């Protein structure tokens, strides 16, 4: 019997709501605050929602396949379900962006190449919508971690995750300016392609593989995880976070290329440890509806938001604070409504299956 973790359920709920608020207004308001270096560097080490989502995904995936009759079949179904949803949104992206450009600019070889490149970047790197960049690295990390664990390459998995995370510090982390290497260091290559390469390895290796694999390993050794002494890790994490942030503020100039920080690792571990220590039976009672709402909010909020903007005739660039909150509440209401509809449909389907089952 699978074990439920109320803290993880609450984290997924809080994370999906945070993503919703961030994409609707928070990121825009943060960009308007004075002292951007302080704002961004201070938030860099504590920006642990993304790696925590990856850790949770790896943790739950391991719990799922380790309790399944066939781990291989479980992973196949997991990836297939995720892939179907992802491809549906990719079809929306094609209809919204690719097809109009093909109609307006023609079917010349040059335009076909440009649109193919846009589609490739959207599918494998940026996602068809802003929140979907998370999915391809998740699938990559999950499949890689699954293969390593099934082959019993535990030590190799640990070495690769640590090596990958440290290596990414030179690409998009705290050590990225140490050797003075940037996109301009390769004059024979278009800087845009170097930037894409950096972003690709950061997302697939720095986030996807590293933290999904860590989630899998934490699930495999959950008993040992629960025996660790938290206080030394907490003190070390606080000290590392403060020192690292001060050093970055002193020796680095802020750019949005900074995605990772060394302190992100212990901070993520601490947050995850706190999640699995939470014991709230009431949350377990409503686990399914909370999880469904979290999924609907994460996957659907951009689509709902853009539809609302179109119907209301509003533009993000000229919206007031009151309009921002109205859009937030409207989008949140739509997420709740869709969740309720899906929940009711599921119950109706199960009831019919029960009635039609042979006695």
pLDDT in tens, 211-225: 999 999 999 999 888
Predicted local confidence at residue 299, as pLDDT: 92
| Alpha carbon distance 57, 75 (integer Å) | 12
Q: 235 and 342 share a domain?
A: no
Mark whether 154 and 274 lie in a shared domain.
yes
Do 126 and 110 sit in the same domain of this protein?
A: yes
The model's pLDDT over 27-51, given as tens digits with 9 standing for 90+, comes to 787 777 777 677 777 666 667 889 9
Residue 193 confidence (pLDDT): 83
The answer, yes or no, to whether residue 93 has pLDDT greater than 60, is yes
**Residues contacting residue 266 through CB under 8 Å, at least 6 positions apart:** 233, 236, 237, 240
Same domain as 125, residue 252: yes
* 295 and 146 share one domain: no
Mean pLDDT over 1-10 rounds to: 82
Whether 186 and 134 share a structural domain: yes
Average pLDDT of 173-183?
76
Q: Please check whether residue 89 lies inside any domain of the structure.
A: yes
Confidence label for 356 from pLDDT (cuts 50, 70 and 90):
low
pLDDT confidence bin for 184, thresholds 50/70/90: low
The domain of 4 spans: 1-33+282-359
- 168 found inside a domain: yes
**Spatial distance between the Cα atoms of 154 and 170, rounded to a whole number of angstroms:** 25
Does residue 273 register a pLDDT over 60? Answer: yes
Residue 166: pLDDT band (50, 70, 90) is: very high
Same domain membership, residue 193 and residue 69: yes
Q: Output the pLDDT for position 357.
A: 58
Are residues 174 and 275 both part of a single domain? yes
DSSP symbol at 320? -
Q: Which two tokens stand for residue 320?
A: 């007031």
Q: What stretches of 96-229 show up as alpha helix (H) in DSSP? A: 99-105, 109-121, 135-150, 154-172, 191-201, 210-220, 222-225
pLDDT band at 13 (very low <50, low <70, confident <90, very high): very high
pLDDT tens track for 99-148: 999 999 888 988 999 999 999 999 999 999 988 999 999 999 999 999 99
The mean pLDDT of the chain is: 88
Q: How far apart are CA 204 and CA 212, in angstroms?
A: 10
- Model pLDDT, residue 80: 95
Given 255, 279, 303, the domain boundary residue is 279
pLDDT of residue 30: 74
Q: Give the whole-number percent of the chain exceeding pLDDT 70.
A: 93
pLDDT at 1: 54
Residue 132 CB contacts under 8 Å (≥ 6 apart), including other chains: 86, 89, 126
pLDDT tens-digit readout, 323-334: 999 999 999 999
Domain boundary among 264, 279, 294: 279
Q: How far apart are CA 359 and CA 357, in angstroms?
A: 6
Q: How many domains does the chain have?
A: 2
Residue 348 shares a structural domain with residue 266: no
Residues 260 and 290 both lie in one domain: no
Q: What are φ and ψ of residue 160, in 5° steps?
A: -65, -40
Instruction: In whole angstroms, give the CA distance from residue 201 to residue 134.
Output: 13
pLDDT score recorded for residue 22:
85
The closest of 165, 98, 158 to 128, measured between CA atoms, is: 98
User: Is position 38 within any domain?
Assistant: no
- Tokens representing 309 are 């903007």
Six-digit token pair at 112?
């076909």
């Amino acid at each position: 019997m699978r074990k439920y973790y109320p803290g993880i359920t609450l984290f997924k709920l809080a994370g999906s709501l945070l993503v919703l608020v961030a994409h609707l207004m928070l990121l825009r308001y943060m960009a308007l605050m004075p002292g951007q270096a302080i704002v961004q560097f201070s938030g860099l080490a504590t920006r642990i929602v993304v790696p925590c989502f990856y850790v949770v995904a790896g943790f739950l995936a391991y719990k799922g396949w380790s309790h399944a009759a066939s781990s291989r079949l479980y992973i196949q179904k997991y990836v297939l379900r995720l892939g179907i949803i992802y491809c549906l949104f990719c079809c929306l992206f094609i209809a919204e962006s690719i097809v109009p450009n093909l109609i307006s600019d023609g079917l010349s070889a040059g335009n076909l190449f440009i649109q193919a490149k846009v589609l490739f970047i959207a599918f494998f790197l940026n996602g068809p919508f802003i929140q979907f960049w998370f999915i391809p690295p998740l699938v990559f990390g999950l499949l890689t971690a699954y293969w390593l664990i099934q082959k019993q390459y535990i030590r190799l998995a640990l070495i690769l995750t640590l090596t990958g995370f440290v290596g990414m510090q030179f690409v998009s982390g705290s050590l990225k300016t140490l050797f003075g290497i940037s996109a301009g260091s390769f004059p024979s290559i278009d800087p845009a392609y170097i930037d894409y390469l950096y972003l690709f390895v950061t997302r697939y290796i720095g986030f996807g593989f590293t933290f999904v694999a860590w989630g899998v390993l934490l699930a495999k050794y959950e008993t040992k995880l629960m025996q660790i002494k938290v206080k030394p890790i907490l003190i070390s994490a606080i000290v590392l976070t403060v020192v690292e942030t001060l050093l970055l503020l002193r020796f680095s100039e802020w750019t949005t290329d900074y995605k990772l920080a060394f302190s992100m690792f212990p901070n993520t571990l601490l947050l995850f440890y706190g999640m699995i220590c939470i014991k709230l039976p009431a949350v377990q009672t409503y686990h399914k509806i909370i999880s469904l709402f979290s999924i609907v909010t994460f996957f659907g909020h951009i689509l709902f938001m853009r539809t609302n903007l179109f119907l209301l005739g509003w533009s993000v660039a000229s919206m007031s604070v009151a309009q921002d909150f109205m859009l937030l509440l409207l989008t949140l209401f739509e997420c709740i409504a869709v969740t309720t509809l899906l929940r009711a449909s599921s119950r109706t389907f199960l009831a019919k299956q029960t009635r039609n089952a042979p006695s």
